[in-house]
A and B are shown apart, each in its own frame.
Chain A
Amino acid sequence: SQQGEEDPQALSIQEGENATMNCSYKTSINNLQWYRQNSGRGLVHLILIRSNEREKHSGRLRVTLDTSKKSSSLLITASRAADTASYFCARTFTGRGSTLGRLYFGRGTQLTVWP
């Protein structure tokens, strides 16, 4: 299966705290992407990390990738109420029979940041 999972399923924190979400997968990836979704609307791309990269930063976001453990984490530092959303990791794979641009999503983590 190409599926994976995010955990936790739900995370509730106070403004100013850091939020960490994890993503695991089962087969070798081409890259892993994190997306954000506000309340049942479209997804917004946050960051892409390639299989040969270990860490990337974008503003208050930090993504790590450990291919030996087949896992990734998304850290949001100094969280704000506006960060409240669902966060998904999406994996892409290369290999026979796979569609190169196909994204495989997990169920996501629902983050709530309280003011």
Chain B
Amino acid sequence: ETGVTQSPTHLIKTRGQQVTLRCSSQSGHNTVSWYQQALGQGPQFIFQYYREEENGRGNFPPRFSGLQFPNYSSELNVNALELDDSALYLCASSPGQGPGEQYFGPGTRLTVT
């Protein structure tokens, strides 16, 4: 157990809808990263937040947005859902924005129909 929690575990949405996924970081961690993992693929970096500011972004459109709160919990919001957004969404926390070990949550499985 890493101490990182995510909710919900599973979610089914319809194309065009909006979704919010939540992540609670490990105690003392001020950095959170979000990854998308399609079936049979490795995780792809969406973005990273450090002390409530976006600190870097992968190749994802603006309809993927995030927030980090003062307690370092985090949200991933996806607007105008597309079928290709179906994936496992993983958040990972770390004690800083450096290149060290990251602590992953169990993920949220999103299905878009």
Chain B residues with Cβ below 8 Å from A25 are: none
Contact present for A41 and B107 (CB under 8 Å)? yes
A101 adjacent to chain B (CB < 8 Å): yes
Chain A residues with Cβ below 8 Å from B106 are: 41-42
Q: Which of B12-54 contact A (CB under 8 A)?
A: 31, 33, 35, 40-45, 48
Per the bound structure, the CA–CA distance linking A42 and B105 in Å amounts to 5
Chain A residues with Cβ below 8 Å from B98 are: 100-101
A61 adjacent to chain B (CB < 8 Å): no
Chain B residues with Cβ below 8 Å from A108 are: 42
Chain A 39-51, CB-CB to B under 8 Å as 1, else 0, gives: 0111111001000
Chain B residues with Cβ below 8 Å from A40 are: 88, 107, 109
Chain B residues with Cβ below 8 Å from A41 are: 106-107
Contact present for B40 and A103 (CB under 8 Å)? no
CB < 8 Å neighbour of A102 from B4, B33, B101: B33
Per the bound structure, the CA–CA distance linking A33 and B98 in Å amounts to 13
Q: Which of A50-107 contact B (CB under 8 A)?
A: 88, 92, 94, 98-107
A31 adjacent to chain B (CB < 8 Å): yes
B61 adjacent to chain A (CB < 8 Å): no
Chain A residues with Cβ below 8 Å from B90 are: 42-43
Contact present for B102 and A103 (CB under 8 Å)? yes
Contact present for B48 and A43 (CB under 8 Å)? no
What is the CB-to-nearest-CB distance from A3 to chain B, in angstroms, rounded to a whole number? 9
Q: Which of B61-113 contact A (CB under 8 A)?
A: 88, 90, 92, 94, 96-107, 109
Per the bound structure, the CA–CA distance linking A103 and B56 in Å amounts to 12
Chain A residues with Cβ below 8 Å from B109 are: 40
Chain B residues with Cβ below 8 Å from A98 are: 56
**Apart from A100-B99, A106-B42, what 12 extra A-B contacts exist at CB < 8 Å?**
A40-B107, A43-B43, A45-B102, A48-B101, A88-B42, A88-B43, A98-B56, A99-B57, A99-B97, A101-B98, A103-B45, A105-B42
